[in-house]
Amino acid sequence: MTDTRFDVVIVGGGHAGAAAAIALRQEKFAGTIAIVGAEPDLPYERPPLSKEYLAGDKPFDRILIRPAAFWEERQVTMLPGTRVVAVDPTAMTVHTDDGQVIGYGDLIWATGGEPRRLTCEGHHLAGLHAVRTRADVDRLLAELPDARDVVIVGGGYIGLEAAAALTKFGKSVTLVEALDRVLARVAGEPLSRFYEGEHRAHGVRVLLGAAVRCIEGETRVTGVRLASGEVLRADMVIVGIGIVPAIAPLADAGAATGNGVAVDACCRTTLPHVYAIGDCAAHANRFADGATIRLESVQNATDQATVAARAIIGREAAYDAVPWFWSNQYDLKLQTVGLSSGFDQAVVRGVPAERSFSIVYLREGRVIAIDAVNAVRDYVQGRALVIAGARISAEVLANKTRTLKELATT
């Protein structure tokens, strides 16, 4: 027996879930909609958590996706602080941690993921933090005044953005990356070395090829011991080593999973009337040469939300959006279009030392992605090259006197 029923139940109150509800109403869907979110807050933007919100440049109300009145006006029922623990695809119900049974006509799974945790000795100590939710950052900020030495584990975007934000507070920051360069999984070496140099110039100690052996301390962290034996003093440790897709209830219900929950081109899972979107959705992507991937980005969340909404109302359209991302660190704005994985050539346009340049990635002679640092024009104009998979020689691309818009028409 259900406690209540909605035509569409959206599980997950993040960007993907909010975008799905917005898209449904924009598509004139007149049925009932509920967003069931594990967090107590209304949907908010996550990217600022490791940037402006952590740095104190934006209060929480400025990162809300929409104010409360917006959801009320569009008759979207909000069920915050409620975690879905099971899905019954036969009865078409979800079960929550507080005992509710909620029926659905269509279900959109938009839960994102949970921060990947350290598993070494000492991983349970107080003073270890993730940067995934508002509560994560609020806890971190509450402890920050008493912390002098901060160790950040992970040299991806979250780790680098957190390092940049914490230098504003005058903290002694050490960044530990197990691989031989930062951003190694998402960018070419020229970009990695540029950001490595920028962080060092701002006082961050960057340790590469450094694995964590254990976290030291009795009840609270006091240090990080590396595999080399070196112990880094730490009053606080921030762990930014990726996420684990939050898909257990769908997997238990029989949905096909892998690195996320498998979806088709219209964001359908293998369960009837169940869709998945955003960080947790594993989909075939032509910009990854057809590989099945997950994309952790606002772009992906928004575009997949629209695809799922249209499928629900009977206006099917396959997901085929070009990926894009951004990162703010210090006074540097990095904008990326496309996916550079599998590139075989990286062409630098401009001079990195001048702090305004771009990198064009090629695979078998075709443009597959562009990283633009303080180079908005290359980012905007390069989009067409990525979508078209344009064939342009490295020598021509490297010539900064020719705009990418000009090259797109040749």
Instruction: Give per-residue pLDDT as tens, 135-191.
Output: 999 999 999 999 999 999 999 999 999 999 999 999 999 999 999 999 999 999 999
Specify the pLDDT at position 408: 76
pLDDT score recorded for residue 410? 62
CA distances from 88 to 119, 253, 353 (A): 32, 6, 56
- AA identity, residue 189: E
Please compute, for residue 99, the number of CA atoms within 13 A of its CA located in the half-sphere on the CB side.
0
Question: Confidence class of residue 274 from pLDDT cuts 50, 70 and 90?
Answer: very high
Mean predicted confidence (pLDDT) in 198-209? 98
Measured N-to-C along each axis, helices 157-167 and 189-201 cross at an angle, to the nearest 10 degrees, of 20
Share the mean pLDDT of the chain: 96
* pTM of the model as a whole: 0.95
Q: What is the mean pLDDT of residues 39-43?
A: 96
Cα 192 to Cα 60: distance, rounded to the nearest angstrom: 31
Dist CA 386 CA 255 (whole Å):
33
- Quick check: 53 pLDDT over 90? yes
Look up residue 234 and give its two tokens. 């730490």
244 DSSP β-pair partners = 114
Burial 22-51 (b: 16+ CB within 10 A, else e): bbbbeeebeebbbbbbbbebbbbbbbbbbb
H, E, C per residue of the chain: CCCEEEEEEEECCCHHHHHHHHHHHHCCCCCCEEEECCCCCCCECCHHHHCHHHHCCCCHHHCECCCHHHHHHCCEEEECCCCEEEEECCCCEEEECCCCEEEEEEEEECCCEEECCCCCCCCCCECEECCCCHHHHHHHHHHHHHCCEEEEECCCHHHHHHHHHHHCCCCEEEEEECCCCCCCCCCCHHHHHHHHHHHHHCCCEEEECCCEEEEEECCEEEEEEECCCCEEECCEEEECCCEEECCHHHHHCCCCEECEEECCCCCECCCCCEEECHHHEEEECHHHCCCEECCCCHHHHHHHHHHHHHHHCCCCCCCCCCCEEEEEECCEEEEEEECCCCCCEEEEEEEHHHCEEEEEEEECCEEEEEEEECCHHHHHHHHHHHHHCCECCHHHHHCCCCCHHHHHCC
Distance, in Å, from the CA atom of 301 to the CA atom of 231, rounded to the nearest integer, reads: 40
User: Residue 188 forms beta bridges with which residues?
Assistant: none
Report pLDDT for 2. Answer: 67
Percent of all residues in the chain with a pLDDT value above 70, rounded to a whole number: 99
Residue 1 has pLDDT above 60, yes or no: no
Please say whether the beta carbons of 135 and 115 come within 8 A.
no
Q: What is the per-residue pLDDT across 249-266, written as a single tens digit (0 to 9) for each?
A: 999 999 999 899 999 999
Q: Rounded to whole angstroms, what are the CA distances from 45 to 67, 134, 251?
A: 12, 10, 27
The total of other beta-carbon atoms located within 10 Å of residue 342's CB is 13
The 10 Å CB-count burial string (b at 16+, else e) for 249-273 is bbeebebebeebbbbeebbbbbbee
Q: What is the pLDDT of residue 18?
A: 98
Residue 61 makes CB contacts below 8 A (sequence gap 6+) with: none
CA distance 65 to 62: 8
pLDDT for 96: 97
- pLDDT category at 3 given cuts 50, 70, 90 is confident
